[in-house]
Structure 1
């Protein structure tokens, strides 16, 4: 995958997972009115939560002591699960605002604005796992047919964006765990986009991207997953 310095998963430091998941969790806790105890200093010092009614800090005006990578534009998805079942997932496909703000706003939207679910309740929060995925820059996949696209994809590594007319949808690389068969993966993605699952149109375009994902399993140890080229 071609690296883009404006949206590169390789630029993340070793403590990125704790910081980014901390931002996501703090956003949810503030919205839910939950008092956080024992919050790591690194999370508190790097960034307060950015909720829906808080203006974003101007890029480059960063707080003293906050690492510069948090102020760089970045694209992220925040996924919430309870008992392994999806509870919300919202994200950005392109980097257009500071990563710290993107994570906070996507956390808020995943919990309270995902139209597939009711807003997250405070009683649900203790059992909620939070995963933050930081996306690399999407790159076009030249494919005239579904078979050509399947031949170019790397199951388990590539996130995929499909576009056809005004329809668009994406699956993160993590979805390969539930849909390991490429044909089923693309059929489900077409269905998500509101397209016929069994039909590939000549106007369909595809892009792929990689992610680094950080998962906090409801208070358990942080897990980091690289879905990218080794």
Structure 2
């Protein structure tokens, strides 16, 4: 788990990275951000960066698995959320003052070994995020998605399947389901105080 100070640093690093990238057109080095990073940022962690504008999603991309150091994953995810989310046009530099930055640090995903009938009981709303895999298809929804959208565990499983490009009932028909937890740090307002969000 990250401390509140580390969580604030994670969000600051994400924002600073986007600012530098939008103004200079190139990725900053993690140590050029001016943000003091503790040793936890050298650990390999999964992470997602979410951008919202006026309460609406503006970009969300991340590393589901701990495939790089936390600082590198935040850098890459922040730039991707701002400029490479295929659902949205790239963020403009002057738009950044209206955007709230959120960073979710993930635990290692673990396969839920349960029959389809038992699966919904294994999913804890507000605690678990989900990954559904079948063949080449894979979809992920963060832990905050279910409570923010009033989903129960069956809705959550179905929406994760659809995110993977599968039918909503793929989880009943043998798709693999993984769960993970996330620690969420976000700005209360654009470039404002950073809080840890709990559901």
Does the alignment reach a TM-score above 0.5?
yes
Pairing 1:224–2:190 present: no
Give yes or no for contact 1:73–1:99 (8 Å, CA) kept in 2. yes
Aligned to 1:18: 8
Computing the radius of gyration over CA atoms, which structure comes out larger, 1 or 2?
1
Pairing 1:114–2:85 present: yes
Kindly tell me the number of residue pairs found equivalent between the two proteins.
Answer: 190
Give yes or no for contact 2:42–2:71 (8 Å, CA) kept in 1. yes
Any idea what SS the aligned residue of 1:150 has?
helix
Aligned to 1:162: 132
**Per-residue Cα deviation, 1:113-149 (whole angstroms, up to 9, x for no partner):** 011111001121111000000001111111221x311
Structure 2 unaligned spans of 5+: 25-29
Any idea what SS the aligned residue of 1:19 has?
helix
Give yes or no for contact 1:17–1:224 (8 Å, CA) kept in 2. yes
Give yes or no for contact 2:124–2:153 (8 Å, CA) kept in 1. no
**Per-residue Cα deviation, 1:49-102 (whole angstroms, up to 9, x for no partner):** 4xxxxxxxxxxxxxxx85221111111000000011000000111112111110
Structure 1 unaligned spans of 5+: 1-9, 35-45, 50-64
Pairing 1:194–2:178 present: no
Aligned to 2:76: 105
Give yes or no for contact 1:161–1:207 (8 Å, CA) kept in 2. yes
Q: Please, what TM-score do these two structures have when normalized by structure 1?
A: 0.77
Aligned to 2:27: none
**Per-residue Cα deviation, 1:17-72 (whole angstroms, up to 9, x for no partner):** 221111101111112218xxxxxxxxxxx8324xxxxxxxxxxxxxxx85221111
Equivalent position to 2:99, from 108, 111, 128? 128
Any idea what SS the aligned residue of 1:168 has?
strand
Give yes or no for contact 1:80–1:88 (8 Å, CA) kept in 2. yes
Give yes or no for contact 1:139–1:209 (8 Å, CA) kept in 2. yes
Structure with the largest fraction of strand: 2
Pairing 1:207–2:173 present: no
